[in-house]
Structure 1
Amino acid sequence: MNAEDWITHLDMAAHPEGGYYKQSFVSPEKISLAAHSAERNLYTSIYFLLRSQDISHFHRLKSDELWYFHAGHAVTVHILDAEGNYRAEKLGLDIAVGERPQVLVEKGSIFGSTVEAEDSFSLVGCMVSPGFDFADFELLLQAELLELYPNQGKIIKKLAYEKIPGTLSDR
């Protein structure tokens, strides 16, 4: 199957950070934490598809996000931690070249993703705990990130929006 087949069969929609998504699970259990403005589901999960011509732009969540590889080519998850240290995690199944089938993005980290293989895609699952809510989602601009982390200019210019497009919708 190609990317468009997955998008169609999973009834995916465009995501504001880039790529395509479809919510797959929502925990019926709720949790309240000081870091969140209101009660959240214990966890939520989505399918997320990124094509090689797409970029998942730099964003930040108030919850941990665990990524699982499903299909296609490896995806690189680019992460800036709270101190501004950069690391690239390869999510895929080729363990011999350093890919891993699961990658954790810690809450508060700034992250985005890319598919490096030309004319390809990656289908992953993303589980967020406490559950995802757009109230806890922040897209970040190049100017603010360059001011905070001037040593990370190359990756910031590649993955951060200069101007945030459109409006956000629930996932």
Structure 2
Amino acid sequence: MTRVQQLIQTLELQPHPEGGWYAEVFRSAASVTPFDGRPPRSALTSIYFLLEAGHHSRWHRVRSDEVWVHLEGAPLALWTADAALRTAPAHTRLGPVDAHGTRPQHVVPAGQWQAAEPIATHTAGDYVLAACMVGPGLDFADFSLMPEGSEEAALMRHHWPELARLI
């Protein structure tokens, strides 16, 4: 059994709509009411998120802040872009701390576009396992994928065609 198969089985991971595998591991019993008019949400949610080599998390956004934490495997390329795609997407490398700027944690502010993919290495495996915490907690009503035919997708294809593969 490969490490990916072991993680999927042990952590009881299921396919995620954005790509990859996930399992919710925590949903706070406490609730908060966001200031933006959304109904009450759990104060915090947390998931395991697994991406295999050659797979990616599609461009999406969440209406709450999201914290990504690298747990094991290959480094993760986490791409973020402002909600209106006015500036070039930024790349953050998540993984063990090194002198080149790799860090184990990154926050994606509410409403920003985000996408992710494993960075292939010869020593770290063919997958990446991360934890993602969202506060206020994730409700799939607050989650949206970048639609293929949307204005945002057209902007991505025009200005950053190398990142359009993540749509």
What TM-score does the superposition give when structure 1 sets the normalisation length? 0.86
Equivalence for 1:164: none
Match of 1:133 among 139, 143, 151: 139
Aligned mates of 2:139, 2:34 — CA distance in 1: 13
Aligned mates of 2:131, 2:21 — CA distance in 1: 11
Matches within 5 A, 1:119-158: 120-144=126-150, 145-149=152-156, 150-155=158-163, 157-158=164-165
Deviations 1:57-106 (A, max 9, x none): 00010000001111111111111113522101111004223210101111
Equivalence for 1:100: 103
Whether contact under 8 Å (2:146, 2:153) holds in the other structure is no
Secondary structure of the 2:19 match is coil
Equivalence for 1:63: 64
Question: Alpha carbons of 1:100 and 1:36: their partners in 2 closer, same or farther (altered >3 Å)?
Answer: farther
Structure 2, unaligned runs of 5 or more: none
Deviations 1:114-144 (A, max 9, x none): 0121661000100000000000000112432
Aligned mates of 2:56, 2:24 — CA distance in 1: 19
What TM-score does the superposition give when structure 2 sets the normalisation length? 0.88
Aligned mates of 1:97, 1:2 — CA distance in 2: 27
Whether contact under 8 Å (1:81, 1:109) holds in the other structure is yes
Aligned-pair identity in percent equals 33
Equivalence for 2:38: 37
Larger mean CA deviation between 66-75 and 30-39 belongs to 30-39
Equivalence for 1:117: 120
- The runs of 4+ residues in structure 1 deviating greater than 6 Å are none
Larger mean CA deviation between 34-43 and 145-154 belongs to 145-154
Equivalence for 1:53: 54
Aligned mates of 1:135, 1:35 — CA distance in 2: 14
Aligned residues: 159
Whether contact under 8 Å (2:16, 2:22) holds in the other structure is yes
Equivalence for 2:78: 77
Equivalence for 1:21: 22
RMSD: 1.6
Aligned mates of 1:78, 1:126 — CA distance in 2: 15
